[in-house]
Amino acid sequence: MLTPEMMLSGYAQGIFPMAERRDSDDLHWVDPRLRGIIPLDQFHISRSLRRAILREDYTIRVDTAFSATVRACADREETWINSALLRLYDALHALGYAHSLEVWQENRLTGGVFGIALGGAFFGESMFSTRTDASKIALAYLVDRLRQGGFILFDTQFLTPHLASLGGVEMPRADYRARLAEALGRDADYSAVSVPSASGMLQRMTQMS
Establish if 124 belongs to a structural domain.
yes
The pLDDT > 90 percentage for the chain reads 92
Is the predicted pLDDT of residue 209 greater than 60, yes or no?
Answer: no
Mean pLDDT value across residues 117-138:
97
Is the predicted pLDDT of residue 208 greater than 70, yes or no?
Answer: no
At residue 206, the pLDDT reads 82
Establish if 14 belongs to a structural domain.
no
At residue 25, the pLDDT reads 87
Domain hosting 194: range is 33-78+97-208
Establish if 86 belongs to a structural domain.
no
Mean pLDDT value across residues 31-39:
97
The pLDDT > 70 percentage for the chain reads 99
Is the predicted pLDDT of residue 207 greater than 80, yes or no?
Answer: no
Residues 108 and 101 sit within 8 Å (Cβ to Cβ): no
Residue 205's pLDDT band, with cuts at 50, 70 and 90, is confident
Establish if 68 belongs to a structural domain.
yes
Establish if 91 belongs to a structural domain.
no
124 or 193, which is more confident:
124
Helix-then-strand count for the chain, H and E: 8, 9
At residue 44, the pLDDT reads 94
**SS3 category, 173:** helix
C-alpha distance from residue 196 to each of 40, 145, 159, 193, 205 (Å) = 17, 9, 28, 8, 12
Is the predicted pLDDT of residue 1 greater than 90, yes or no?
Answer: no
Establish if 88 belongs to a structural domain.
no
Mean pLDDT value across residues 43-59:
96
Q: Report how many domains make up the chain.
A: 1
**SS3 category, 146:** helix
pTM for the full predicted model:
0.95
Exposure string of 41-69, with b = 16+ CB inside 10 Å and e = fewer, is eebebeeebeebbeeeebebbbbebbeeb
Q: What angle, 0 to 180 degrees and rounded to 10, lies between the N-to-C axes of helices 134-149 and 47-55?
A: 90
Chain segment 148-201, per-residue pLDDT in tens: 999 999 999 999 999 999 999 999 999 999 999 999 999 999 998 899 999 999
Establish if 12 belongs to a structural domain.
no
Establish if 6 belongs to a structural domain.
no
The CATH number assigned to the domain holding 140 equals: 3.40.630.70
Contacts of 69 (CB under 8 A, 6+ apart): 100, 102, 109, 112, 113, 114, 128
Cα(57)–Cα(61) distance, rounded to whole angstroms?
13
